[in-house]
Amino acid sequence: MGLDRRGFVKFVVGGVAGTLFTPVIWQGLDDASIWSQNWGWIPRVPKGEVKTKSALSKLCPSGCAVKVKVIEGKPFAAVGNAANPMSKGGVCPICAGGAQLLYSPARVKSPMKKVGEGKFEAIKWEDAEALLVEKLTPLKGQEGKIAAISGDETGSANEVLSALLSGLGNAGGFAVMPGEMYTATRGVKLMGGNGQPGFDIEGADLVLMIGADALDSWGTSVANLKAFAASHPTGGAATAQYIYAGPTLNNTASVCDKWLAVPPTATATFSLALAHALIEAGAVSSAADFAEYKALAAKAAAGFEAATGLKAEALKELAAKIKAAKAPLVVAGASFGQGAGALDFVAAASLNVLLGRVGQKGGMTVLGAAPKAIASAADRENAKDAASLLAQVATGKAAPAALLIYEANPAYALPQAAEMAKAMGNIAFKVSFSTYMDETAALADLILPAPHPYERYDDAMNPYGVAKATYLAGKPVLKQPVLDVKDPVDVLLAAAGKLGLSLGFETYADVIKAKAKALGADFDALAAGGIWNGEPKGGALSLGAGALAKAAPAAADEKAVALAPVTRLAYGSATLATPPANLLNVRDTELKGKDLFVQLNAATAKKLGVAEGNKVKLSAGGAEVKALVHVNEGVAANTAAILLGFGRSAWDEFTKGKGDNVYKILTVSDEAGTGLKVWAGSTVTVAKV
């Protein structure tokens, strides 16, 4: 029997073998040697007995429970942990390369102090920690003088970081990198709920993903792939339908049963127009705002074809499929970096309310807040977003004298990245707690190297997308780190003590064990690859009509096209550059040499007066990105699709200087009625160079 599409997906779920089928772009012999895995910086694996140790690898946004293969204590490979009920033995394409990344030349090898523009010198840990305390001491009690940015969505490190700021009189200074969880939680509030949304993909018989690249770069992608594979058995009938509505024929859309090409500027219109089609087909809701919602849906339907480029008949067909399903689910979202707002989430999530699918098996859930290990810690949902914080710094509305950056890269991975990096220059003392020499670390005054996941204790509470309250934890695989690193949380707890503040713990391990105890979980079982689950709250949600009525229509610009930043987890994330081994898999229609490609469908290319191979300039917000044109019918109308994750100015020889940073041309606006910074509606002008 041949390997059909469903069989192919089922085959790759257990690992990254599927990436080997993509074209290799590096043609020369020299390049081939550079991109091979026989790099000199990776220790040779000794001969001996192969053992496995459990670890929580948070190299990817959601975290993978992995089994690390070691010989004489040296890791050489990572595979999925079959004992973990979420990943079921699967592993994502980033965490699969965890052993190589342990020895990456981009790792920060010891504490570093800036001694000149772009120049650092190595210092001892005792000197580095003393400098941290020295700089923070005069700022104690001065509100607005200490800020922090965290790039960790799920870890208890955020409790320590926010509690430290609160204890030093800067409770409002804690910010997080923007992401799905952040905006979606606010979307739930706009619908009258309180908590993090979850999606029971495994239990649904029809999954409509609106902007959510759920089989690649959105949410718990490994678990999602497992659910997809189970519902699409090789040689057997599918037990669930998967439909993707989004701007590109990405890795998710390419294996789904249907793809609807929806521009990134029209996701809310698509969702509400679909609601109208469902209502026309007989859907009703007892929600108090149904009448207002019905009117908004009818208005959206009237402008559907103009906004999306799709025919109204496509909505009727989709509505009929949804009505025929026993357990339909709508997954709302835009993969990391695409900057969808809370109103986009509400528009899509409201379909679950309309269909009565909230709190049901195979439906949307709401997860309540987890108990804290540190009572004074801030609720993550009340944190600022990093884009807003640095925008205030740029305009002088905020003036922190010290900025602590934990596992985040705001100088690279925020919209209008050049302006964000420039704003950081207004802050006198910047500390980067980073495993790798990224763009933000390169701008810091003090770099305190963080351990690799195999060298540290860590945890993950409710990775975004899980249907039930979920907790994972891990402990070090190695007895000693391979470099001169310390856990950032241990450093912060020690600094708190020297600043006269007791947070109740001496180490991060103590914090995580206390968290597990507060949940009633067994830490040792978690560290072995287990999982703790609690029940979701469920509860009633409104349709969010009041919030949706405030949404401002997208401004029309005949000269501009919608910008669709494409994310592929194998190519890295907002906090991790493309792993060297994964660069082999970048397609030659995505990156050629140092040039990115912008993908346009034929009609859009003709409208813009460009053709295959033309060099063009994409401009927005006073910045520009140069790229080559690739004509591709897997892109929505009036949309320019281009890869995120390239254009690095730091890291290593494998990633630096390849392509351009698309975050530069993502333009930010304030979302009507919420005040959130959004950029999913970014548009660009495209001109030949």
**pLDDT, tens digit (0-9, with 9 covering 90-100), for 615-651:** 999 999 999 999 999 999 999 999 999 999 999 999 9
pLDDT in tens, 587-607: 999 999 999 999 999 999 999
Do β-strands 532-534 and 595-600 pair in parallel, antiparallel, or remain unpaired?
unpaired
Tell me the C-alpha distance between 230 and 9, whole Å.
Answer: 10
- 179 against 428, higher pLDDT: 428
Which amino acid does the sequence have at 636? A
Q: Is the pLDDT of residue 27 over 70?
A: no
Mean pLDDT value across residues 73-87: 93
Q: What angle do CA 379, 380, 381 make, to 5 degrees?
A: 90
What integer pLDDT is reported at residue 268 of this predicted model?
Answer: 93
Round to the nearest angstrom and report the end-to-end CA distance of the chain. 49
Q: What tokens does 260 get?
A: 């609807």
Tell me the C-alpha distance between 27 and 112, whole Å.
Answer: 37
Residue labelled with tokens 């940015």: 149
What integer pLDDT is reported at residue 378 of this predicted model?
Answer: 87
pLDDT in tens, 82-92: 999 999 999 99
Cα dist from 623 to 420, 642, 660, whole Å: 13, 15, 12
| CB 350 within 8 Å of CB 293 | yes
pLDDT in tens, 447-484: 999 999 999 999 999 999 999 999 999 999 999 999 99
Tell me the C-alpha distance between 88 and 104, whole Å.
Answer: 28
Tell me the C-alpha distance between 51 and 108, whole Å.
Answer: 28
Q: Is the pLDDT of residue 213 over 80?
A: yes
CA nearest neighbour of 140 among 496, 624, 461, 642: 496
* Nearest-10 Cα torsion for 263, 268, 273, 274: 90
Q: Is the pLDDT of residue 42 over 80?
A: no
pLDDT band at 334, cuts 50/70/90? low
Tell me which of 122-136, 356-370, 675-689 is least confident.
675-689
| CB 25 within 8 Å of CB 594 | no
Q: Which domains, ranges and CATH numbers included, belong to the chain?
A: 5-102 (2.20.25.90), 112-180+377-459+482-506 (3.40.50.740), 182-367 (3.40.228.10), 560-688 (2.40.40.20)
The SS3 of residue 287 is coil
pLDDT in tens, 236-293: 999 999 999 999 999 999 999 999 999 999 999 999 999 999 999 999 999 999 999 9
Average pLDDT of the chain is: 91
| CB 71 within 8 Å of CB 50 | yes
pLDDT band at 111, cuts 50/70/90? very high
Do β-strands 74-80 and 683-688 pair in parallel, antiparallel, or remain unpaired?
unpaired
What integer pLDDT is reported at residue 554 of this predicted model?
Answer: 61
Tell me which of 39-43, 158-162, 436-440 is least confident.
39-43
| CB 197 within 8 Å of CB 364 | yes
Tell me the C-alpha distance between 329 and 220, whole Å.
Answer: 16
Q: What is the DSSP annotation of 154-213?
A: S-THHHHHHHHHHHTT-GGGEEE---HHHHHHHHHHHTT--SEEEE--TT-SEEEEES--
Cα dist from 502 to 142, 170, 374, 494, 505, whole Å: 19, 16, 11, 9, 8
What integer pLDDT is reported at residue 489 of this predicted model?
Answer: 98
Q: Is the pLDDT of residue 331 over 90?
A: yes
Mean pLDDT value across residues 528-541: 85
Tell me the C-alpha distance between 182 and 384, whole Å.
Answer: 10
What integer pLDDT is reported at residue 555 of this predicted model?
Answer: 59
Q: Is the pLDDT of residue 5 over 80?
A: no
What integer pLDDT is reported at residue 7 of this predicted model?
Answer: 41
CA nearest neighbour of 495 among 427, 575, 410, 433: 433
What integer pLDDT is reported at residue 417 of this predicted model?
Answer: 93
Residue labelled with tokens 């703790």: 532
Mean pLDDT value across residues 218-234: 96
Mean pLDDT value across residues 91-104: 95
Q: For residue 13, give the DSSP letter.
A: T
Residue 643 has phi, psi (to 5 degrees) of: -70, 135
What integer pLDDT is reported at residue 100 of this predicted model?
Answer: 93
What integer pLDDT is reported at residue 668 of this predicted model?
Answer: 87
Residue labelled with tokens 């949307």: 364
Give the helix ranges, DSSP H, for 632-678.
Answer: none
pLDDT band at 36, cuts 50/70/90? very low
Mean pLDDT value across residues 509-521: 96
Which amino acid does the sequence have at 338? Q
| CB 271 within 8 Å of CB 37 | no
Q: What tokens does 235 get?
A: 């040689």
CA 527, 529, 534, 537 torsion-angle sign: positive
What integer pLDDT is reported at residue 37 of this predicted model?
Answer: 52
70 Cβ neighbours under 8 A, 6+ residues apart: 50, 51, 52, 53, 76, 477
Q: Does pTM surpass 0.75?
A: yes
Mean pLDDT value across residues 162-185: 93
| Portion of the chain with pLDDT greater than 70, in percent | 93
CA nearest neighbour of 344 among 255, 253, 245, 199: 245
Tell me the C-alpha distance between 216 and 219, whole Å.
Answer: 9
What integer pLDDT is reported at residue 108 of this predicted model?
Answer: 98
556 Cβ neighbours under 8 A, 6+ residues apart: none
Tell me the C-alpha distance between 231 and 204, whole Å.
Answer: 10
Q: Is the pLDDT of residue 338 over 90?
A: no
**How far from the centroid of its chain's Cα atoms is residue 464's Cα?**
9
| Portion of the chain with pLDDT greater than 90, in percent | 82
Q: Is the pLDDT of residue 15 over 60?
A: no
CA atoms in the 13 A half-sphere facing the CB of 557? 16
- Interhelix angle for 5-12 vs 221-231, to 10°? 140
Tell me the C-alpha distance between 64 and 529, whole Å.
Answer: 10
pLDDT in tens, 390-422: 999 999 999 999 999 999 999 999 999 999 999
CA nearest neighbour of 537 among 196, 288, 207, 156: 196
Tell me the C-alpha distance between 584 and 542, whole Å.
Answer: 47
- Specify which residues 121 forms β-bridges with: 113
Tell me the C-alpha distance between 91 and 104, whole Å.
Answer: 20
Residue labelled with tokens 């700089």: 135
Long-range contacts of 121-129 (CB under 8 A, 24+ apart): 125/484, 125/486, 128/446, 128/448, 129/491, 129/494, 129/495
* Nearest-10 Cα torsion for 154, 572, 334, 79: -60
